[in-house]
Each structure stands twice: as structure tokens, then as C-alpha cells.
Structure 1
Amino acid sequence: MTDMRLTRDGATEVPGPLGEGFPVHHAQDLTRGGTQARIVLGDQVYSLRITRAGKLILTK
């Protein structure tokens, strides 16, 4: 099992090659159990969607 630590913003941090010290956000958490979420970067809004096949699509 991988050692994961919870960060202040609710992400998990995975040490080693998988996470390389970067925060890891679970898609199901971002979508609150649904299939879509909005992600804001500056003044741009992106749409994150989980497909039926379990893949992620990020669109502007």
C-alpha cells in the first residue's frame, strides 16, 4: 500500500515516483461523487468530466 498524507486543502500527497511530492486530487472528490466539476484557473473556467469508460476529459 502507498503511504499517502492528507494536505491542508484536502488533497493527498503521495511520496516517491507516483506522486513525486505533488498533491494528488481524486476525481471522485472533485466531482463530489458525480461526473462533472468546474475548475477555475485565473479568469478561465474549465470543465472536468468523467466518462462512462472511466476516463477524464478536461475542456475549456
Structure 2
Amino acid sequence: MKEPVLIDSAEIFADAKVIQIIHNAQVYILRITRENKLILTK
């Protein structure tokens, strides 16, 4: 089994607090909360 890819969230978000991810033709929203946690919604 291959090791999982490790990506720093700062690389993905840059200066944003919300990003959109497309997976299987569905759009997901990944956001950073005020408590600096991540929430993924559809």
C-alpha cells in the first residue's frame, strides 16, 4: 500500500478561507472555521 500524499493546507488555501473541490462531478466546499478547523460540505 502506498503512503498517503501529505499536503499542507496553507498550500491549498493560500489567502482564502473557502475553496471548492470537484470530485466525481460533484462540488464540495472546504472551509476554515473561526476556530481554525476544517469543514467539508457538499
- Asked if these proteins are the same fold (TM beyond 0.5), I'd say yes
Aligned length: 41
Which structure has more helix as a fraction of its residues? 2
Structure with higher Rg: it is 1
- 3-state SS in 2 of match to 1:21: coil
Unpaired runs of 5+ residues, structure 2, are: none
Structure 1 segments of 4+ aligned residues over 2 angstroms from their partners: none
Structure 1 unaligned regions, length at least 5: 1-19
Q: TM-score, normalised by structure 2?
A: 0.78
Q: Give the structure, 1 or 2, with the largest relative contact order (CA under 8 Å, sep 6 or more).
A: 2
Normalization by structure 1: what TM-score? 0.59
